Amino acid sequence: MIKIARLFLALVLVFLYLPIIVMAAMGFNASPLYALPFDFTTHWYQELAGNGRLIEAGWNSIWLAVLTAVIATALGTLAALALWRRTFRGRSILRILLLPPIAIPWLITGTAMLVFFFWTGIGRGLHAMLIGHVALAIPYVVLVVGTGLQTLRADLEEAAMSLGSTPIHAFFRVTLPLLLPSIVGAALFAFAVSLDQFVISYFLSVPGMTTLPVEIYSAIRKGFTPEINAISTILLVASMIIILGFARFARPGGIGERS
Amino acid sequence: MSGVDVTAVAKNYGATKVLTDITQNFESGTFTSLLGPSGSGKTTLLRIIAGFVAPDEGAVRIAGADVTGVPVHARNIGMVFQSYALFPHMSVAANVGFGLGRRGIRGKAAKAQVDEALEMVRLPGFGGRYPRQLSGGQQQRVALARAIVIRPDVLLLDEPLSALDRRLRQEMQVELLRIQRESGLTTIFVTHDQEEALTLSDKVAILDRGRIVQMGRPAEVYERPRTRFAAEFLGDANFLTGKVRGSAVEIAGATIMTEDRLPAEGATVTLAVRPEKIAIRPAETARSGAVENSLPATVSSVIYTGTALTYMLRSGDLHLKVFAQNSDGSPLAAGSAVVLSWSARHSVMVEG
């Protein structure tokens, strides 16, 4: 049984990583038509360095993802604190309402946002994308931080208050440090949701002001070169470093559990 | 040193009355247990004194000052929580020093006091460790050190020993009592463990459905329970209900004497008799006239626990329980006819 399971897991990993490895390798292959034999070159990376459109789209994506992560994490953490640590009317309804946006197809959310932003005069552009991405990311943040809060005993804050902490001091000295792994995890989630986002970005982008996924999509339609592989590889490596860094940082049980 | 005064405190959650008209003085330097089943309001009372819960009515005074409207952090209290609530991301020294820091005591002065407190709970040199590296009993001691190092006006303990195993709990009871005596802190201890309450306390307060039904020295409360609930919750009791006849009570055909002042002739009263106060003898060897109360009965079953025996008996419609020492090694068999006897002062009249 265990052998079969291991084999299965190995297959899953192969199917996950093999296409990515091929994609990255082709960025270093001289043929613009992805033809073999493999002939190593850094030509496409040099080309990329001169491709203003792709680079600008790449920076747009990164800035958007960073801003989304910061804003969504701040708002989502506050929401999680309210939803799990305070009692108020309609709390359970609000908690339930958080879940459907995760399951609603992005195409529908995107259309709805496009119409709504048009009617409210927000329009399209990077600012509209930011609003859209933040709205998309908040439910993930609330869920991740909320789960972290549930594993954190409420009496820790009470203990701090019994020793003379004001509620705010208790929050910053006790709750926040213990919640930090969850908050960092949530921020990464929000970052990934934004960086990955295509449908909503596509709907809300204006020509000349787009994100990398949208730019890659239009490049593919026009016929593309291994430059796309090059920029994809750069992004891939960057996000792998972030994720692996986080995995080291947030061991189970949080930073408080590290020796 | 100063005590805690609770005056006419009441607390409701919606339609549920959690506490009703609690007025109680917790004398300076004494160790008082709040004993009651879950839902009796004992934890709510403790949390009202701590300031985590605001009473709907009444006032709380700590060390002579009215603190009813004062938030937790501005009351000078020390609290030990059921789960210890040690800060997992701080060392033992940082945990113990937390309250000192809030009081502006830092550096050398703080370190000296932290060391002294760790010494008091017998964990010297543990300052550099983290809570997860400690056993349950050690975490308990750190929690205690953290609460007493700030020299609080009152030490509040919320079932702090309930998470420990039996052996460790007995050890900690002794420690707790020693520390309380050494520090002289007014201590209020919430527990549902009657033995713990009797062993540790100067005073025991028994709570039932949001009221303190009785408070006094452990022996006083145990020997002279005022209500049926108090008799039952603190220890075991046989309840005999009958009618007043002259200066005694007629119960199931027998005349039972008590030293308590009885109500008028014909009134219905309930007497509580502790199972260990009753002597049990085989019917054929029973002497008569030596003790005030005697009651013929039949053994229905015996529980043998080595050092002690528990007899379940019947006397007419009455079911009785008797604890006896296993002194001659041959317990009476089920079905034996026996005579139960006890002195009049052990028939305690109770309410309810």
| Structural domains in chain A plus CATH codes | 42-257 (1.10.3720.10)
Give the helix/strand (H/E) hosting B235: none
Residue B288's pLDDT is what?
Answer: 60
| DSSP percent split of chain A into helix, strand, coil, nearest 5 | 75, 0, 20
Residues in chain A: 259
- Global pTM reads 0.79
Write out chain A residues lying below 8 Å of B132, CB-based. Answer: 257
- Contact flag A257-B132 (C-beta cutoff 8 Å): yes
Say if residues A200 and A191 touch (Cβ distance below 8 Å).
no
Residue B196's pLDDT is what?
Answer: 87
- Contact flag A159-B79 (C-beta cutoff 8 Å): yes
Cross-strand partners of B312: B301, B321
| Sign of the dihedral through C-alpha A79, A83, A87, A88 | positive
Q: In what order do the strands lie in the sheet with B308-315?
A: B279-282, B337-342, B293-304, B308-315, B318-325
Residue B262's pLDDT is what?
Answer: 84
- DSSP secondary structure letter of residue A163: T
Q: For residue A252, how many other CB atoms are within 10 A of its CB?
A: 7
- DSSP secondary structure letter of residue A247: H
- Segments of chain B assigned to CATH 3.40.50.300: 4-229
Options 3.40.50.300, 3.30.70.360, 3.50.50.60, 3.40.50.2300; which CATH number does B4-229 get?
3.40.50.300
Q: Nearest to residue A69, comparing CAs of A242, A179, A198, A190? A: A190
- Coil vs helix vs strand at B46: helix
From B131's Cα to the closest Cα of chain A, the distance in A is 9
Low-confidence ranges of chain B (pLDDT < 70): 1-2, 286-291
Touching check for B114 and chain A: CB below 8 Å? no
- Contact flag B72-A158 (C-beta cutoff 8 Å): yes
Number of H helices, E strands in chain B: 8, 20
From B85's Cα to the closest Cα of chain A, the distance in A is 5
Per residue of chain A (259 residues), give pLDDT as tens: 788 889 999 999 898 888 888 888 888 887 777 777 777 888 788 877 777 887 888 888 888 989 999 999 999 999 998 888 877 888 888 888 887 888 888 888 888 888 888 888 787 888 888 998 999 899 999 999 998 888 888 889 999 999 999 999 999 999 999 998 889 888 888 888 888 888 888 888 887 788 888 888 887 777 777 888 888 888 888 878 877 777 766 554 444 443 3
From B291's Cα to the closest Cα of chain A, the distance in A is 55
Residue B265's pLDDT is what?
Answer: 83
Q: What are phi and psi of B103, to 5 degrees?
A: -100, 10
- Segments of chain B assigned to CATH 2.40.50.100: 238-350
Contact partners, residue B343, CB within 8 Å, separation at least 6: B277, B291, B292, B293
- Contact flag A163-B99 (C-beta cutoff 8 Å): yes
Touching check for B50 and chain A: CB below 8 Å? yes
- In this structure, which amino acid lies at residue B349? M
Interface A-B, measured as beta-carbon pairs within 8 A, has a size of 66
Residue A68's pLDDT is what?
Answer: 93
Please tell me the distance from the alpha carbon of residue A230 to that of residue A218, in angstroms, as a whole number.
16
Touching check for B8 and chain A: CB below 8 Å? no
Residue A98's pLDDT is what?
Answer: 82
Classify residue B31 as exposed, middle or buried by CB count within 10 Å of its CB (0-12, 13-18, 19+): buried
Classify residue A77 as exposed, middle or buried by CB count within 10 Å of its CB (0-12, 13-18, 19+): buried
Structure tokens at B332: 């009476």
Q: Does domain B238-350 have CATH number 3.40.50.1220?
A: no
Write out chain A residues lying below 8 Å of B79, CB-based. Answer: 158-159, 162
Write out chain A residues lying below 8 Å of B156, CB-based. Answer: 162
